[in-house]
A and B are shown apart, each in its own frame.
Chain A
Amino acid sequence: MDILIKQGRIIDPANNFDGIADLLIQGEKISAVKSTLRPRSKVKVINAKGMWVVPGLIDLHCHLRDPGDPEEETIASGSASAAAGGFTSIACMANTKPPIDNPAMVKYVKDKAAAEAKINVFPIGAVTKGLLGAELTEMGRMIEEGARAFSDDGRPVTNSGMMRHALEYARQFGVVIISHCEDPALAEGGQMNEGYFSTILGLKGIPALAEEIMVSRDLMLAKEFKGHLHIAHVSTEKSVDLIRKAKDKGVKVTAETCPHYFTLTEEALLKYDTNAKVNPPLRSERDVKAILRGLADGTIDVIATDHAPHKLEKKKVEFQAAATGLVGFETALSLVVTELIDKKILTRKEAFAKMTVNPARILNLHKGAFKEGWDADVTIIDPLAEAVVDASQFLSKSKNTPFNGRKVKGQVAYTIVSGKIVYSNA
């Protein structure tokens, strides 16, 4: 049935629009956005007064654990969790078991998503076979099967020569190489950000430099060899500075950060909370402020979740033995509303650009904007709804969040994918 969304605040950054209007979905496609549209017969009307209506949110960075760890997440549970978080499209990383490093594996994810997921799932292929950093994957054939970007995320492409080849080779397809920036020798054995807090907790530190050296290297490679580089999960002040300078010089680079890097500092670890153990680690207050500046001035293009589900057994152990990562689908939007929009770090348009049109452009998707004839992916948000994060209610199979019990504002009311309501909280 067609859907008419009445009198919501349409926030469409790609069209530089933020105003009250009606939006009509016909079948699977966007039909019209106008100040008022008359409901015809046989149309479902959603009264969106007081709500925000945005192009369906796109997550550029998540882990679905399929294949490999169905106890932690599956494509079905992960996509349901994402839908509950307002995401209509997600790009899943290649470090599954086995990794998504060949055309058949890309097809597996696409087929599984077609069967199980109510939202769009775009596989990210591995840069190197087995994520081993030694041989390039068949990017061309993987793109034919639906791969949208390439990354060895979870680990860096340590060999600079290999990273060069990846950036160069990807150019012919116009696809992006997403880099997990970490110098393995500097980070080795590290448990948290290196600094005063690692010193007083007696945990081995990971210096900010472990990230920044690789950011620096990758920016130089991208400048020299002209590939499109995307820096994943930016967490430090100097990384932001380096990316800003590179952009000024015309390097084809984009960057993302995650809600935890603009919300939490390393102090979250003072009680050895393993749910706040993540890689890159939570950084200092100074870094958080720099991330906020980088978001505000556009240096950071994208807000991604780095949704990384882990079962309780991998978290309810000694800190050093605990897995790294946190689930992010079901808290990301509220944290953006609460920490960025409400606090006037970003305007609504700026914030949603980083969750819609910007990731869409990086993945070469015809999504992330309200354009006639495009897929009707829409997220409707109640911006005033307050809630307390309750991990036990997550649709994700895993509950590893450091935000449990946190008061947030902004809740998803509807998630609509290709004209179908896939999640509703109204």
Chain B
Amino acid sequence: MQIQSGKDLLGLRELPEADIESILKTAASMKEIFTRPVRRVPPLIAKNIVTLFYEPSTRTAASFHLAARMLSASVNNIQVTSSSVKKGETLIDTVKNLEAMGMDAVIIRHSMAGAPHLVAQNIKGSVINAGDGFNEHPTQGLLDIFTMREKKGKLKDKKVLIVGDILHSRVARSNIWGLKTLGAKVTVVGPPTLIPKDIEKTGVTVSYNLDKEIKDADFVNVLRIQLERQEAGLFPSLEEYHKLYGINAERLKKAKNDVVVMHPGPINRGVEISSDVADGPYNVILDQVTNGVAVRMAVLFLLLGGKRAKR
């Protein structure tokens, strides 16, 4: 098994349904490895993987590292600060150097949309997008979908609410692409200033009324809200934001009994999600974190360990 659409995973927008299914299926077997006494298997034993992060991250980097190690790959982390980018070499030069050192795959996070695509066009090795600007975060989208499937089975016609700052969210975009490919009904909810133009054309519904939309939702995926958006004049205060778009126990009473609440983390307690929900019975936030490792193992395995001919 391998990903048919190419050497890289840059996003879910162009990823065919068959590839999504094959990643999800592989992720299920990877998750099984977690339950073993020795959590390590050999398929990527000779592979060198580099995580190249131009934005700080603890969770995603750690998740990729654990995934790579469980598959016996050797993994190196390069954390680049924005100040060293200004002084230093170009992105293309950096990855070409890494490739010259024997790197098989690079997992890249970058504040600028399209940076992983630029890398992919310039190296032979595999590129995995770990988040690029506001564009995509495909493994997050996949782990969200994996978690949804785990909780409720097939996603066709299931209603997924994505709540919050859609404009600046790569998680929202990857969710939208993957979920639409699998036939889910997606509604984005947030203040009009944080809904990107023409998002309806992706096939989602736009709403500003969370209380109405939450009633028949199967999943509520809550996005992190950043204070800098308030500073940019996009909403007036965190208090007002919480009142209009925060997920709390009171609001969840309106939802179905089996509603599932998700969050890509890190959470702002009391802002986009209240503590009673973040720690309450409906949330699957820690399942998402666990599944993140399984999904990333699947992606690494399919891109690097399949029967693909040697490049």
Known: A318-B114, A321-B112. 10 other contacts (CB 8 A): A198-B196, A198-B197, A200-B173, A204-B134, A207-B197, A272-B117, A317-B91, A318-B118, A319-B113, A319-B118
Residue of A196, A271, A313, A318 near B115 (CB, 8 A) is A318
Residues of A within 8 A of B (CB): 194-196, 198-205, 207, 271-272, 313, 316-321
Chain B, Cβ-Cβ closest to A196: B198
Chain A, Cβ-Cβ closest to B195: A199
Q: What are the 7 closest A-B residue pairs judged by CB atoms, nearest first?
A: A202-B135, A272-B114, A202-B134, A196-B198, A202-B113, A199-B196, A320-B112
Q: Please state if A201 and B114 are interface contacts (CB–CB under 8 Å).
A: yes
For residue B92, CB closer than 8 A to chain A, the reply is: yes
Q: Which residues of B from 195 to 220 have beta carbons under 8 Å from A?
A: 196-199, 201-202
26 CB-based A-B contacts, threshold 8 Å: A196-B197, A196-B201, A196-B202, A199-B197, A199-B198, A199-B199, A199-B201, A201-B135, A202-B132, A202-B133, A202-B136, A203-B113, A203-B114, A205-B196, A271-B117, A272-B114, A316-B90, A317-B118, A318-B91, A318-B110, A318-B114, A318-B115, A318-B118, A319-B115, A320-B114, A321-B112
Q: Which residues of B from 108 to 140 have beta carbons under 8 Å from A?
A: 110, 112-115, 117-118, 132-136
For residue B170, CB closer than 8 A to chain A, the reply is: yes
Give A203 to B132 CA distance when docked, in angstroms.
10
Q: Please state if A201 and B113 are interface contacts (CB–CB under 8 Å).
A: yes
Residues of B within 8 A of A (CB): 13, 90-92, 110, 112-115, 117-118, 132-136, 170, 173, 196-199, 201-202
Chain B, Cβ-Cβ closest to A316: B92
Give A294 to B208 CA distance when docked, in angstroms.
39
Q: Please state if A195 and B173 are interface contacts (CB–CB under 8 Å).
A: no
Residue of B90, B133, B199, B201 near A320 (CB, 8 A) is B133
The B interface is mostly helix, strand or loop, or mixed, namely mixed
Give A196 to B196 CA distance when docked, in angstroms.
8
Expressed in whole angstroms, the minimum distance between the Cβ of B119 and any Cβ of chain A is 10
Residues of chain B with a CB closer than 8 A to A317's CB: 90-92, 118
Chain A, Cβ-Cβ closest to B134: A202
Residues of chain A with a CB closer than 8 A to B13's CB: 200
Chain B, Cβ-Cβ closest to A320: B112
Q: Please state if A194 and B197 are interface contacts (CB–CB under 8 Å).
A: yes
Residues of chain A with a CB closer than 8 A to B173's CB: 200, 202
Residues of chain B with a CB closer than 8 A to A318's CB: 91, 110, 112, 114-115, 118
Give A272 to B199 CA distance when docked, in angstroms.
19
Chain A, Cβ-Cβ closest to B177: A200
Which among A199, A317, A319 has the greatest number of chain B C-beta atoms within 10 A?
A199
Give A142 to B299 CA distance when docked, in angstroms.
64
Give A272 to B118 CA distance when docked, in angstroms.
8
Expressed in whole angstroms, the minimum distance between the Cβ of A207 and any Cβ of chain B is 8
Chain A, Cβ-Cβ closest to B122: A316
Give A202 to B115 CA distance when docked, in angstroms.
11
Q: Please state if A202 and B170 are interface contacts (CB–CB under 8 Å).
A: yes
Residues of chain A with a CB closer than 8 A to B170's CB: 202
Give A271 to B13 CA distance when docked, in angstroms.
12
Expressed in whole angstroms, the minimum distance between the Cβ of B152 and any Cβ of chain A is 27
Residues of chain B with a CB closer than 8 A to A199's CB: 196-199, 201-202
Residues of chain A with a CB closer than 8 A to B133's CB: 202-203, 320
Give A205 to B113 CA distance when docked, in angstroms.
12
Residues of chain A with a CB closer than 8 A to B201's CB: 196, 199
Give A318 to B118 CA distance when docked, in angstroms.
7
Residues of chain B with a CB closer than 8 A to A198's CB: 196-197
Expressed in whole angstroms, the minimum distance between the Cβ of A188 and any Cβ of chain B is 10
Chain A, Cβ-Cβ closest to B90: A317
